[in-house]
Amino acid sequence: MITGARPGRASATEITLFKSLGLGIEDAAAARHVVAEARRLGVGQEIAF
């Protein structure tokens, strides 16, 4: 999905799951990519915390 080689969800009712089995730094790297793509596409909602 990340590279665009395979489609993501086909409908809003489907769920995409990411299960990390590695180090916390890998989670942070994946999250950084997801946030960057969401911002680039203009989707999602930022939450102040």
Chain centroid to CA 4: how far? 13
Could you tell me if residue 44 is left (phi over 0), alpha (psi between -120 and 50 degrees) or otherwise beta? left
Give pLDDT tens digits for 2-33.
777 877 788 888 887 777 677 889 889 989 99
Domain extents for the chain? 20-49
pLDDT value for 36: 96
Q: Are 27 and 37 in contact (CB under 8 A)?
A: no
Q: How would you class 30 by CB atoms within 10 Å of its CB: exposed for 0-12, middle for 13-18, buried for 19 or more? A: middle
pLDDT value for 1: 66
Give pLDDT tens digits for 29-48.
989 999 999 999 999 998 99
Q: Which long-range contacts (CB under 8 A, 24 or more apart) does 34-39 make?
A: none
pTM of the model: 0.52
pLDDT value for 24: 87
